[in-house]
Amino acid sequence: MRLAQIGSTLGAALLGVVLAVPAFAQPAADTVAAIRARGFLNCGVAPSTVGFSLPDSRGEWRGLDVDTCRGVAAAIFGDASKVRFVATTTQSRFTALQSGEVDMLARTTTWTLAREASLGLEFASITFYDGQGFMVRRDSGVTSARALDGATVCVQPGTTTELNMADFFRTNRLRFTPVVIENIEEIRAAFIAGRCDAYTNDASSLASFRFSQGANADRYVMLPEIISKEPLGAVVRKGDWKFFDIVRWTHFAQVTAEELGITSANLDSFANSTNPDVQRFMGRTGDLGRMLGLNNDWAVQVVRQVGNFEEVWERNITPLGVPRGINALWTKGGLQYAPPMR
């Protein structure tokens, strides 16, 4: 009788543990197998952010986030073109990933504790170290965010910018009125039309907007204050560590290639290098690809078809007028640092 009671108690306790485990902690599907069976990677991106993700005049997607997706496709398939880009809003992006509509996000998305701990998601890399800023019209005469007392400020909902903005104004004892608009094009149009005194977003997004204005770009000025840390990177579903490793190490491979001086243009000249780090990178020794479930030349394909990190930056971000700054390699005073590929 006593054994039966103990068994019943243990059973109830175990059931309680099972019920207490959040749904996202259950064994994840094999994302890589699903991608291979489908024949392409589904990647969630922003619909219209110059420098990060935007279709060109021929409908071809371009940008740093786009190249993040293409790098993963090159690692998995040996073909960077095997990607379907899915435009997501700030409101739909996480649901799209959680539901499996997309395999990963590369969508100017900030890594935060709350997002990683509560949404069942994992940030695999930091492709852009960013920070939130403010933009005003040059003719406003405003030269500091601390002069925005009483201002109306355009901001997107469902982003870290709302909280950061509120914290900044509260900390500095300034009054403000938010003008909340979800669609990025509508919020930019509202700022241009004068519906708000200032526009706040990640500094990279503000630079992208300013660049998109062409001959009118000089009408707008970014204020000097950066009020937050906004590490942007690729996001995957929590629990599928095989896919997580591939996404993470694809970025690290591009950083490593830059460290080693390997580019898409000179890649073949390294084929017979006796440098052990280069040999492992090229897939000649170490079986690193097989450890990831990939071909041993996976890193070669990433760089050949997409480029090293410097090439990706120069192609997409430099035209915006944004310097490498803290996004430079660690050897040049920046934060981009790849663990050893060995």
Can you give the pLDDT at residue 99?
97
CB 191 within 8 A of CB 156: no
Q: What tokens were used for 104?
A: 């990963």
Average per-residue pLDDT for the chain? 92
Cα separations in angstroms, 206 against 52, 53, 147, 217, 342: 12, 14, 19, 11, 39
Can you give the pLDDT at residue 13?
45
Can you give the pLDDT at residue 342?
95
**Which residue did the predictor score with more confidence, 24 or 38?**
38
- Please give the Cα distance from 124 to 106 (Å, whole number): 10
Buried/exposed 39-61: b ≥16 CB within 10 Å, e otherwise: ebbbbbbbbbbbbbbbeeeeeeb
Q: Is 128 left (phi over 0), alpha (psi -120 to 50) or beta?
A: beta
- Please give the Cα distance from 24 to 38 (Å, whole number): 23
For residue 160, the 8-state DSSP code is: H
CB 303 within 8 A of CB 78: no
- Please give the Cα distance from 156 to 42 (Å, whole number): 25
Kindly calculate the radius of gyration of the chain based on its CA atoms and give it in whole angstroms: 23
Q: What tokens were used for 229?
A: 């840390």
- Please give the Cα distance from 155 to 198 (Å, whole number): 9
pLDDT digit string, tens, across residues 319-339: 998 999 999 999 999 999 999
**Which residue did the predictor score with more confidence, 303 or 29?**
303
For residue 167, the 8-state DSSP code is: H
Cα angle 139, 144, 147; round to 5: 85
- Residue 259's Cβ-count burial label (10 Å; 0-12, 13-18, 19+) is buried
pLDDT digit string, tens, across residues 85-142: 999 998 899 999 999 999 999 999 999 999 999 999 999 999 999 999 999 999 999 9
CB 132 within 8 A of CB 227: yes
- Please give the Cα distance from 306 to 304 (Å, whole number): 6
Q: What is the residue whose two structure tokens read 């739909």? A: 92
pTM of the model: 0.85
- Please give the Cα distance from 259 to 331 (Å, whole number): 8
Can you give the pLDDT at residue 159?
81
pLDDT digit string, tens, across residues 193-251: 999 999 999 999 999 999 999 999 999 999 999 999 999 999 999 999 999 999 999 99
Helices (H) and strands (E) in the chain, counts: 13, 14
